[in-house]
Structure 1
Amino acid sequence: MTGEQAVIIGVLIATMAMFLWGRWRHDMVALGALLVCVFAGLVPGREAFAGFGHPAVITVACVLILGYGLQISGAVDVLAQRLLPTAAGPTLSILALISLAALLSGFMNNVGALALLMPIAIQMATKLNLPAGKVLMPLAFGSILGGMTTLIGTPPNLIVSGYRETTGMGNFSMFDFSPVGVVVAVIGILFVGLIGWRLVPTRKQAVEGSFESGAYLSEVRIVEGSKAVNKPLREVELMLDETDAQVVSMVRREVRISAPNPGRILRDG
């Protein structure tokens, strides 16, 4: 084994150990590992950050921007209300949620779809009186399974397509992954929705008062006679300045609007 190989193995082991430790954010650990490789001369400096210009990275970034647009417009909430059952048991509800996640993941990247549906998953868990993990973990699996069905669904598909193009064989088209991906996704969704979520361990809730609450989300209703009725959002936010509270979204006619316009008038109900 050469010295460079030993250093690479050492960096990989240290990186995995830090991932498992969880003390630092994963992106910072990965960036630190890259810098170590650069300073050790294992990666040329001019190529250290070439990956940020890779088509896969740019595509994922664009898809995440698209996903954020769907989020602040309330389109995802409308879609969820149309497709998710309003009165059903845990199995059917989770099966519907991960199916929706798989569908969105195929056309807007699995990371973006997961981020959009996590608030809905938390609401579903509360409604079904289930631990959040029993809904969030199946949601994660659903987004992964759906991402395998199309070219843009998951970064590895884009990377493989880009590498294939460099070999002179041309890249993959949008649905070249579908014949295999759809079959795997359907089987996986059925397993997770019918059996898998039951296997997720139930973790005990932390003892109240044993830690600082920190930042958290809370949903409030504007009642008749409130000072906020018929006032623009910007005035209400000024009233909340002293409490360190911030309005991140609002619900109107059962549609959730993220990052609402400061000029929007608030109503009771």
Structure 2
Amino acid sequence: MTMESIGLAPSTLVFIILGLTLAAFMWGRFRYDLVALAALLGSVMLGLVPTDEAFKGFGHPAVITVAAVLVISRGFERSGVVDIIANQVLKVGERLLLQLLVLVGTVVVLSGVMNNVGALALLLPVAMRLAREHNTSPSLLLMPLAFGSLLGGLTTLIGTPPNIIIATYRGNITGENFGMFSFTPVGVAVALVGLAFIVLVGWRLTPKRSGQASTEEMFDTANYLVELKVSEESKANGLTLQQLHDELEEAIPVLAVVREDNRRAGYSFHGVLREGDILLLEAGPDELKLLEDKVGLSAIAESEKDEKDSDETDSENADSQPS
């Protein structure tokens, strides 16, 4: 199949492929990477992209740099850096202006040394926790956080993919790339002005969620906090948490792992799961079905939990009896 056989101009075919790709993205029925790959293969089949250059873009410095930055972002998340930042941010108190200054300022700094989308993803749980603990409308923190991540991406070469693309293009044209901090003088100035606007004025323009449901009700997740036990026949037996995520092909964060009454946070658990381990995580009905079908993890029955609590109570009573 070629452009001549179809009878359409190359520009028309390009717009058709772009339109279909955007429609597939908006539909959300298929994975985004599969949609993008299908668009690329379609362009090759129609002769819009030369066959020998079809996958040349995967070797572009921007793609490699963004991939490396995402690896660093996951390292920050897995090493517990996010929890350290969260604990510090939560100490700012109840004043909204101070919360915004610390939260948005933190995401601006992080976006300069890592991908801005990754920095935003890392601080989203912190913002939600702040809103929940201080009974604040989430929109007053989330919208400024999003704009702060965009501002922080302006400050360094790796902060945002467009900076990398521009630097590469300049290198191809003039033979000299932009350096890591070539964007910093202008980027920092813009980021500081934007930070001041967000903290002093911007948040006042953000619409608040209206309705009868209170903030506590919006954040009520008690019904979805579950305990799953690793059995001998479970496929999760012998897997690390990372391997468990790979098997599921979906991000279901494990909050903690309980082994012989010792509880360890999910981010700090680096061993393999064993029979009898209990995973504490937040999941809905669909996620629970996925966990049971793919890795054989099932929720602990209420009778089993009651029996365990009863055994612990009897043990404590026995220890308290005088000899």
* Larger RCO (alpha carbons 8 Å, 6+ apart): 1
Moved more, 178-187 or 163-172: 163-172
> Does the CA contact (< 8 Å) of 1:72 and 1:259 recur in 2?
yes
Alignment equivalent of 1:154, drawn from 160, 184, 188: 160
Letter in 1 for 2:196: L
Counterpart position of 1:80: 86
Is 110-119 or 95-104 further displaced after alignment? 110-119
Aligned 8 A contact 1:145 1:184 in 2: yes
* Structure whose alpha-carbon radius of gyration is higher: 2
Q: 2:44 aligns with which of 32, 38, 54?
A: 38
Q: 2:151 aligned with 1:145, yes or no?
A: yes
Partner of 2:193: 187
Alignment equivalent of 1:199, drawn from 193, 205, 228: 205
Local SS of the residue matching 1:249: strand
Q: What percentage of residue pairs aligned between the two structures are identical? A: 46
2:13 to 7, 25, 32: 7
Which residue of 2 is the match for residue 127 of structure 1? 133
Q: Specify the alignment match of 1:63 in structure 2.
A: 69
CA–CA distance in 1 between the matches of 2:30 and 2:191?
Answer: 33
Contact between 2:89 and 2:99, CA under 8 Å: does it hold in 1? no
2:230 aligned partner, one-letter code: L
Distance 1:24 1:130 in 2: 36
Deviations 1:110-162 (A, max 9, x none): 12212211221221222233343443332221111101100111111111111
TM-score (norm 2): 0.62
**CA RMSD for the aligned pairs?**
3.7
TM-score w.r.t. the length of structure 1 is: 0.73
Shift, 1:217, TM fit? 9.8
For 1:112, the aligned partner's letter is G
Quick check: 101-110 or 133-142, which moved more?
Answer: 133-142
Change in Cα spacing, 1:188 to 1:30, as seen in structure 2 (3 Å) is farther
Equivalent residue number for residue 317 of structure 2:
none
Q: 1:41 to 1:133 in 2, by over 3 A?
A: farther
Question: CA 1:143/1:66 → structure 2, altered by over 3 Å: closer, same or farther?
Answer: same
Residues in 1 aligned to 2:179 and 2:58: alpha-carbon distance in whole angstroms: 23
C-alpha separation in 2, matches of 1:98 and 1:119: 14
Unaligned runs of at least 5 residues, structure 1: 208-214, 221-227, 229-235
Tell me the matched-pair count: 238
Match of 1:261 among 263, 270, 274: 270
Cα distance in structure 1, aligned partners of 2:24 and 2:173:
35
Query: Partner residue of 1:167?
Result: 173
Match of 1:111 among 104, 111, 117: 117
| Greater mean deviation of Cα atoms: 184-193 or 146-155 | 184-193
